[in-house]
Every structure is written in structure tokens, then in C-alpha cells.
Structure 1
């Protein structure tokens, strides 16, 4: 059943309250907070590529507290093992059985800090849980908590001793964003509150974890006109034929764009998606899924620039199509 206008209005009101709550910790970053919550309610995962000290950990904790959920932080290092993330089975001498000890991935919001510092084998430990919401250890499957969201971070300036995320893993992140440094007014507000540490500030929950699941279910039923589906399909196909691109966006990328556009529409108080929803999310959803031709990369071409150019070249629908 499609979302009703009344449900869309209630979704917008709750979404706005959560944004305002998180903004108590992450001042002046409304846009990236909205992206983070769009990811949460789209049941996806967020990749943050940003400099140290911009509030990535604080954002993850604030989102978890706002939805009455649990959060864990995993510091990725070269010697981190897959079992350090997923958990291990330990032999219990008393019972004579192996007992599973869950790892830090079993939380509602998991911060994978500097994910590219771990080896590809360790990075791959997140693939199953990010895609299927479960972890398999020694042939036994363990369900992750719901809702479940990974917020992974990368440092864009320090690449020594890092491992580039493979395309298969990048494709599992619904959105890629950057927090950036606060503006002058926000910096002044941060300095005025310097007597309180960010980790000491505990936010009051706005909704329960069950309410998040209910809102995510509602967002899935936002109406998408066939003309908007056609627009997304043309955008994604254009990424595959662009001369500077070696690997374009996958079908998973097209689905991610529709899913996130539905959530953004509901967060805007609408029970239907408009082309502007797709336009505003195209870069954070598609850019990290593109693999550039080495020559284009050497010439300074960026995937964000390509998506921006494709948005100019791909005309949006002007009329609704008959269903």
C-alpha cells in the first residue's frame, strides 16, 4: 500500500526532530545529517571520506542515541582480524561446546573508523552483514540487530599503509558524503561550549528502534512515477557510456538511488518522488560507484564532476506517465 499524505507529513515531522537532535552535537551540518538519516531510513550504509576531527564519531553516536539504539566503534588497523569484527566461537570446557562471542558489529550503528587501513580480508568481513544483515561464523548464522547501519570513514589525505576499498564493497554503501569543517558561526558556538566534551553529551532518544523500522517500511511505499524510474535508468546508463569511465554504476546503484529518493521525498513531506529528489542524491549515491579511466584520473577528472555533467546532459521528465 502506498504512503498516504498524512503518513508523509508525520514522517517529515519526526525526521526533522531527529535532525535537530543530532545537530546539537554536529553544529551547522544539517545537510550531511539529513544524508545520514536518509541512509538509516533507507536501510543502507554510509561512507564518510573526511579529515580527522570533523565529527564522524560524534555523528554516529548521536544518530544511535536519537533512535534509542546501540553503537560500537571499530578502529581499523593493519593487524585487525575478521574475527575482531564479527566475533569468534570459543570452546567452553564446562559444557564441552563452542560458544559464540559476538563482535562489535552487533550494534544498531557501527562506526568503522578508517576502514581502508585494514587488509582486504578484514574489510571483507563486513560484506555479508552489510548486504544480508547477518554474520556467519563456523557455519552458524547470527542475525544482526535491527535497524542496522554501518558508518565507515576514510582519510582522504593520508594514503600510506592503506588498502583501497574494492568496488564490490564500495557498491554496498548507499551513500558517500563528507562532513567538512564548520563555518565561522558554528565554530564560535563550538568554542563557546568547549567546557563540555562531545562524548559527555548524551542525547535524549526521539524514536525507538522499532519506530525506525516502521518508518523505513513506510518509506519503501513512497510512490515513484514510471517517468522517474525512466530518468534514473537513463542516468545510470549514461554513467556506463561516459568516455572517462571504465566501470559505470550497477543495478544496485540504480536501486539505491530510487530507495534514497523515496526516503528523501518522505522526509520532505511528500508521498511521491519528484526529479529534484533524484538530482539532489545522484552525486552522493552514484559518484563512489564509478571507476575512472586511468588517463582521465591523471587529467584531474573526478567522479563527482562526471555525475554533475551527466545531470546536465540527461533531461529530467517534464510530465507524469500514465500507469
Structure 2
């Protein structure tokens, strides 16, 4: 009964180990990235230049035998540069569809905030619908489908910041951050003589990850855990320091990625610990601070931490680990 879950745990652990060998000192980043992939979401990576945002996405793609597309967003990038275009062939007298880089399992969008809102919307439509419509014809995108979009939140001149409604389409946001001294020393030792991505091993395939994603939906979440998610999200909507709280989409995506987090830990049931571990990356980027909060030096992550501290946690008696969970083991 538990053989399938054991395969998921072992495989995702190997994927995380490979990613962590490149992005040193932050095992939580690899765990979150894999969880978002399994949950069918997309990832927004925000940080200053040179800390490994693009390397993180490339490492994941290299570790999983999948099709990879990369787009460098620029102000003159057109939607058709992403989605593809119909080309007229004079020899046949017919149009031929030339697919764009979104027709890959992992799509890396570098500096998404440098593209125009029209081009940003084209990518976000692909993320939401899982398909592309061009000249009246609809083309399904490959599965699994993960967009890892990066942006630099510091250098904003000449950029088009993502509106709140578009940021809400990303399941989670992470910041790589500066490595500690020991991690940076390991990087100097290992990455000055060779490209670290060249030494990564392919440990699984896209079809396997898609199969795992199907199992994630069977992970059990007790009513008390679901109510806990609703309580957290509801408190963001009532918080005096916020002008805009988390949306219902946030509730749904927090539950989905919590299920993936639980499965990667070898459980077929969600615990409040899973929800707490993911609350900041899933909720913080969706919140809009009030003017008073910004002037007071508050940030969205700090407010989510406060909400988690103040929200009562379900007791063990309210979160059964047997019953329904035992009947949903992958085979």
C-alpha cells in the first residue's frame, strides 16, 4: 500500500539533493520548488541579481528529464514570441504552427517585470488555462507545466511591475537571499573551475512527476486543517495593516501545496505544520500593505508571521491521521 508513496519520497529527495548541490545553504528552496511542481502551480522568484534565481530553475529542469524553455523578458518582447505563431508556407499554401517556448514542461521567464503588460498577460493566461489559443485554434500545453518567473524587486526603472491580480496567479513566491559564509565558501571552491549545472544528474522523468502529481490530489486534509487554512486567510482580510488580503485562490493553492509538502514527508494526510511552513511563500506576495504599514516599515511576510502566531492551531484530536487517509495510498 505504501510502495507508491515511498517511491515519491525517495525520488523527490534525490531531486532536492541535486538542486541543493547547486543552490547551497538553502534546502527549503528546493523543497518548495518541488512541492509547487507536484501541486500544479507556478513559482515567482524575487531577489537581487547574482544570488542564483535562474540557476535554481535550471537545476530543477536539468534534474528532471523534461523539456525546458527559457525566455529573457525585454520591453520589445511580443506575446507571439512566447506562445508561437502561424507561418504561411507558400510551397503547400497552408499555415504551419510554430510553437513558442511555453510549449515545454519547465519554462524559465527571466525578469518578467521587464516585459510589457500585454506580454506578461500572455504568459499568465498560459499558466491559468494550460493552453494557448492562436488564430482560433487551441493548443494544449505539455504536462507537467511549471513556470518559474524571476524578477529583481530593487532595480525598478524601466520595468512593468506585476499587478496584484497577476501576482495572485503564482502559487508561491520565494527569495533566494545571500548565502551564509560557509555556503558561499563552498560555492567558491566548487563553482569557479566548472559550471555546476554540468555535473547534475537526471534522476527522474516528467512523466513520473506527472504521476506523482496525480497522487497528491489523494492526500487527505481533515476538515479542521481546511478550516485552519480559511482562518489564516480570513485574518489577512481583516488585518488593519493590509489594504488587500489573500484571495480564495490563495486558500485553494495553500491546500494544494500543503498536500504536496505532506506527501514529500511520507504522509498521506496534511498537518497544521505543513500549512504553517508554507504560509509565508504562498500568502505574502498576494497581500497589499496599507500606507501606514509601509511608512511604519512593516512587510507582508511579517504580517503573515503575526497571523500564524495569533491563529489557533487545530489539536491532534481534530486532525486524524488514519481513516480517510489510509484509503488513499497510491499504488
Secondary structure of the 1:300 match is: coil
1:236-277 Cα deviation digits (max 9, x unpaired): 111111112122111110011000100000111111110010
Q: Provide structure 1 residue ranges, at least 5 long, that are not aligned to the other structure.
A: none
Q: How does 1:98-109 map to 2 (within 5 A)?
A: 98-109=95-106
CA offset at residue 50 of structure 1?
0.9
Q: Is 51-60 or 151-160 further displaced after alignment?
A: 51-60
Q: Find the counterpart in structure 1 of residue 193 from structure 2.
A: 195
8 A contact 1:58–1:198 mirrored in 2: no
Q: Find the counterpart in structure 2 of residue 320 from structure 1.
A: 318
Superposed CA RMSD: 1.5
CA offset at residue 78 of structure 1?
1.1
1:293-316 Cα deviation digits (max 9, x unpaired): 223222222111111111111111
8 A contact 2:168–2:286 mirrored in 1: yes
CA offset at residue 110 of structure 1?
0.8
> TM (normalized to structure 2)?
0.92
Q: How does 1:50-129 map to 2 (within 5 A)?
A: 50-129=47-126
> TM (normalized to structure 1)?
0.95
8 A contact 2:43–2:171 mirrored in 1: yes
Q: Find the counterpart in structure 2 of residue 134 from structure 1.
A: 131
Asked if 1:172 is matched to 2:200, the reply is no
CA offset at residue 321 of structure 1?
6.2
Q: Is 26-35 or 169-178 further displaced after alignment?
A: 26-35
Q: Provide structure 2 residue ranges, at least 5 long, that are not aligned to the other structure.
A: 325-331
Q: Find the counterpart in structure 1 of residue 31 from structure 2.
A: 34
Cα distance in structure 2, aligned partners of 1:289 and 1:6: 37
2:44 to 43, 47, 72: 47
Q: Find the counterpart in structure 1 of residue 329 from structure 2.
A: none
Structure 1 consecutive aligned stretches of length 4 or more whose deviation exceeds 6 Å:
none
Cα distance in structure 2, aligned partners of 1:298 and 1:316: 31
Secondary structure of the 2:87 match is: strand
Asked if 1:182 is matched to 2:187, the reply is no
Secondary structure of the 1:310 match is: helix
Aligned length: 319
1:151-200 Cα deviation digits (max 9, x unpaired): 0111121011111101221111010001112222222222122110235x
Q: Find the counterpart in structure 2 of residue 236 from structure 1.
A: 233
8 A contact 1:39–1:46 mirrored in 2: yes
Q: How does 1:11-22 map to 2 (within 5 A)?
A: 11-22=8-19
Secondary structure of the 1:135 match is: strand
8 A contact 2:144–2:210 mirrored in 1: yes
8 A contact 2:271–2:319 mirrored in 1: no
Cα distance in structure 2, aligned partners of 1:8 and 1:238: 34
